[in-house]
Amino acid sequence: MKDNRRDFIKKGTSLAAALSLGAVGASASPLVSDNTVAVPAAHKVAWPVIEGPDTPKMTMNVGLNDPMSKVKAIKQFGADYVHMAGPRLPWTKEGIQTIVDKYKAEGLTVINMMVNFSGDIIHAGSGRDEEIKRVQDAIVAAGAAGIPVVEYNFYAHRLGEGYYNVEGRGGSGYLGYDYNRVNPKTGIAPKDLPPTEREPAMKKEELWANIAYFLKAVIPVAEKANVRLALHPNDPPAPISRGSEQIMKSFADWKHLFDLVDSPANGMTFDCGVSTEIGEDAVEVAKYMLSRNRINHVHFRNVIVEAPSTKYVETFPDNGQVNMFAVMQTLVRGKYKFGIFAEHPRANEIDKERGGDFISYIYNQAYARGVFQSVLTLEKGYKA
């Protein structure tokens, strides 16, 4: 009797184990001759799953003059890559290499450096060719130092006047944007603001001609230097910005940019927040850009849109309308291999007490890394 009870418990334990592994059901394992269940070994994925040659790289922003305590904290919280605004032009090979080596000593790789140039390039000023030559030299310097991406903007004017604070969950700070909202102090809506003396009104035809002139001069240099350029889209994507039309405010604009010079070096920063702000499906935008091999940097953030291009609210990454998991999955499946920056930190009590916005950036970074590891685990074939 005791032997029968022991056999029953043994068989029951085997069955319970099978149930706990999800082995019993429509695809249950067959019973073997002694009526115990043959339990297949679970498919395992070795952890931690980390960045590889053909995966995205989590990156955080640093300033050239940030204290080393912040640089060390970036590494401590799991980022192996950083990006930054580069020094003022001109750049030299020695100067950029010194910057790269500074972060390399802390175990960090500089994956993207933004170049800021004068309005002569955008407005076709008298010093345009000289400034383009400085940008060409900067690209060569970045390539020599092993920086794969140089980011840039091409704004006639950035209509930041439309931003205003919005109270978010728990009293946190979100950022609203409304193109038509009358400023209570000035009595003027952003859409009605006049041009400035420094940034005169421009037509889109002028801007397209000027960026084409720029790209035809710098892309061959970038290809030779093994560097990719990443143009950030208009953010905010205002239809008119202080009298100037904008050329990076729509998906059609982004496609046109790629056709100006047909090269992976002529790419963009894919921003899933901006993609949603303009009324597009961020996943479909990413798929198209990946099909053209034009995503050279990524901004990973979330929004809630009320009126495309003109009214929206920037939120924490986990509570906007962008499917952040699907965006990350698309990037991983597309073998995107450059940086992902979880940007636009939200105001919170800890940052208010200590100053700055580092806590919010750490939250964004942790969220992005968690999504990345989840996607990569599933892509490696894990089955619960």
Interstrand relation of 163-167 and 311-315 (parallel, antiparallel or unpaired): unpaired
Q: Provide the phi-psi class of 209: left if phi over 0, else alpha when psi is between -120 and 50, else beta.
A: alpha
The Cα 126–Cα 118 span in angstroms is: 11
| Sign of the torsion formed by the C-alpha atoms of 265, 267, 270 and 274 | positive
The Cα 276–Cα 280 span in angstroms is: 5
* Mean local confidence (pLDDT), 165-188: 97
Q: Provide the phi-psi class of 180: left if phi over 0, else alpha when psi is between -120 and 50, else beta.
A: alpha
- Say how many C-beta atoms besides its own lie within 10 A of residue 227's C-beta: 25
> 299 pairs with which residues across the strands?
271, 341
pLDDT at residue 28 in the model:
39
Confidence of residue 167 (pLDDT cuts 50, 70, 90): very high
Confidence of residue 383 (pLDDT cuts 50, 70, 90): confident
pLDDT at residue 56 in the model:
98
Contact 63, 57 (CB under 8 A): no
Q: Provide the phi-psi class of 335: left if phi over 0, else alpha when psi is between -120 and 50, else beta.
A: left
Domain formed by 57-379, architecture: Alpha-Beta Barrel (3.20)
The Cα 94–Cα 364 span in angstroms is: 33
Question: What are the pLDDT digits (tens) for 309-326?
Answer: 999 999 999 999 999 999
Interstrand relation of 149-152 and 109-114 (parallel, antiparallel or unpaired): parallel
Question: What are the pLDDT digits (tens) for 245-257?
Answer: 999 999 999 999 9
Question: What are the pLDDT digits (tens) for 24-76?
Answer: 333 333 444 444 444 445 578 888 999 999 999 999 999 999 999 999 999 99
* This prediction's pTM: 0.88
pLDDT at residue 295 in the model:
98
- Tell me the two tokens of residue 171: 């009293």
The Cα 150–Cα 134 span in angstroms is: 13
Confidence of residue 4 (pLDDT cuts 50, 70, 90): very low
Interstrand relation of 173-178 and 163-167 (parallel, antiparallel or unpaired): antiparallel
* pLDDT exceeds cutoff 80 at 223: yes
Q: Where are the domains of the chain?
A: 1-42, 57-379
Confidence of residue 289 (pLDDT cuts 50, 70, 90): very high
